[in-house]
Structure formats: C-alpha cells, structure tokens
Amino acid sequence: MENQNGAIGEELKAARLERNLSLDDIQQQTKIQKRYLAAIEAGNFDQLPGTFYERAFVRQYAAVVGLDPAALLEKYDLDTKEVEPDLSAARVDADNVTRTGMRLEEDTAAEKTRQLMPKVVIGVIVVVLVAAIWWAVAAYAGNSKQEASSSSVAVSSAKVESSAASSKAAEKKAASSTSKADEKKLTIDKAQVTGRTSTITVTPADKTATIPMTLKAKSAAAWTSVTYDNGVALFSGTLQVNQPEEVTIPANATNVRIQFGNAAQTDVSIDGQTLQTGSTSSVWTSTLNVVR
C-alpha cells in the first residue's frame, strides 16, 4: 500500500512540475491545505483526515494538474467502497473548512421553549389579523351586493363589445408574454453517460451573460467541486444540509466540470432548472458544454 501511495504521489508531483505549478498554486485552486498536498506527494496518506478524503483529495489534485481522476483512481485501485465521514458533530468555519469533534451543547427544554414563544405569539397575531380582514371584506361585500341589487344597472352593447375586445387583447398580450418567456429560458440537453462520467449540452438564452448555479446537499453532507475551462475553480468544499452554495458561471465559460463525492446526496440547478446528471454511482463527474 505504501509503494502504491508513493507511486500516486510521484505521478501527481510529476504532472504538477510539468505544468510549472507550485504547491501554493494547487492549494489556491483546490482549497486543500498545503500540508495535505505535500503528504500526498510523499505517499504519506496516513497523514490525511481519512479514507474518504484520500480519494477526494487525489481527485481534486489530479483534475488541477490535467490528469483523469477516475482513470488514476482505477489505475491504483484506490476507488474502493466509500466511507462517509462522520459529520454529526462537525462545524464549518469561516474559511469554509469542515472540522469534526466540535459538538455543540444541546439546548435545554426551557431554552427551546423561550426560543419558540416569539414564534407562537407572532402566529397568534397573524391569525387574528387575517380573521379581522376577512370579516371586514365579507361585511363590505355584503353591503355592496345589497346596494347593487336595489339599483338597476344598464349595460350598453358598446360596453359589452369593448369589454370583449379588451379581454381578447389581454389574452393576446398574455400569450405573447408567455411565448417571450419561453424563448428566454435556458435549455439543458439529456446527459450522455460514459462509465462514471456524463456530458451535458447547456444553451443559455443570452449567450453573453453569466449563468447562476445552485448546489445543495439533500439529507447528508456531500463534497463537490466546480471548475471551468482550464481548471479554474469556482467552488470546492463540503456541502451541508440546508446550506446551499451559489455559484456564478462566467460569461466566457464554455466548459464547466462538476465533480461529486456523493452524487446521490447532491442537487444541482442551473438558472432555476434542475440538472439531471445521469449519475449511477456516488463518485461522479459531469461536464457541461456551454453553447456560446
């Protein structure tokens, strides 16, 4: 195993030196601490946080230096059964690094009650206001109906025709607006799957504009990396449940690469549309070809 780890480290280091990159450059693009990068190059995988991070860090490193992560893992038989890190007691610091072992003290029952009381009071106030508004509207509607019934209303044929014309114009305008809205939507083609990767063609309505992307963890934390064109990093880190990450794809980007450490627990949407990656395993790579 040590010889295998050493071979992986040497291959990564050789690829880095061939691109004239320093460990600081790799750290800046992958957000992996420099000491872990040095440990990988030296084959000292026992200095890494765990088995999950061995694969994740090697994949990130390989992607930045131009190697195929999936092929590298398969070559050295490193793509074994996934071991999810225990994040039950973890926290994410301001530097976007997840650290475990920091268990927060649970709130007492009294504290939870104190925190809940303002919400209960606000809920009661809202219910009372809604009931008062409904009563006022119902009373006004009843009076108006009685007044309308007691007075005769004459409706001319001209007004009827005008109303019909206005209705048709409104329908035409609505249909036109819907058509224009449909024309402005971004289109996403069906994923083309090969092995543990997929290729997806994305055509934005405005080919010169940036494209918003949202990354979400479903019910468990999930590591994700997003790069574009020549490996420039847009995001790299562990997604937490109920903490979506917003990413902006630059206007000049034509090739966007999304790497998943746990694809089944990761949701991706582009310009408000859900991206179907076609993933069949947790470790997955999707490449977006953006039509400009």
Cβ-Cβ contacts under 8 Å for 244 (sequence gap 6 or more): 214, 215, 216
Per-residue pLDDT of the chain in tens (292 residues, 90 and over written 9): 667 888 999 999 999 999 999 999 999 999 999 999 999 999 999 999 888 888 999 999 999 999 999 998 888 877 544 444 444 444 545 555 444 443 333 445 666 777 788 898 898 898 899 888 988 878 887 666 555 354 442 223 433 254 554 666 667 664 555 555 455 688 989 999 999 999 989 899 998 999 898 789 999 999 989 799 988 899 999 989 999 999 998 999 999 798 959 999 989 899 999 999 999 999 988 996 989 8
Residue among 193, 227, 196 nearest 55 (CA): 196
Q: Are 133 and 140 in contact (CB under 8 A)?
A: no
Query: How many distinct helices (H) and strands (E) make up the chain?
Result: 7, 13
What pLDDT is recorded for position 100?
45
DSSP state of 80: -
Q: At what angle do helices 2-18 and 34-41 cross, to 10 degrees?
A: 110
All structural domains of the chain with their residue ranges? 1-76, 186-290
Locate the DSSP E strands across the chain.
91-92, 98-99, 187-188, 192-194, 197-203, 211-217, 222-228, 232-239, 245-249, 255-260, 266-270, 273-274, 284-290
Tell whether pTM > 0.85.
Answer: no
Bridge partners of residue 217, in order along the sequence: 241, 266
Residue among 106, 98, 107, 101 nearest 220 (CA): 98
Q: Are 243 and 272 in contact (CB under 8 A)?
A: no
Measured distance CA(48)–CA(35) in Å, rounded: 9
Architecture of domain 1-76 in this structure:
Orthogonal Bundle (1.10)
Query: What is the gyration radius of the CA atoms in the chain, in angstroms?
Result: 29
Helices within 31-92 (DSSP H only)? 34-41, 51-64, 69-75
Domains 1-76 and 186-290 equal at CATH topology level: no
What pLDDT is recorded for position 31?
94
DSSP state of 262: S
User: 186-290 belongs to which CATH class?
Assistant: mainly beta
What pLDDT is recorded for position 82?
46
Q: What's the half-sphere exposure (Cβ side, CA atoms, 13 Å) at 287?
A: 15
Parallel/antiparallel/unpaired status of strands 284-290 and 197-203: parallel
What pLDDT is recorded for position 15?
94
Q: Are 266 and 260 in contact (CB under 8 A)?
A: yes
Cβ-Cβ contacts under 8 Å for 76 (sequence gap 6 or more): 4, 7, 8
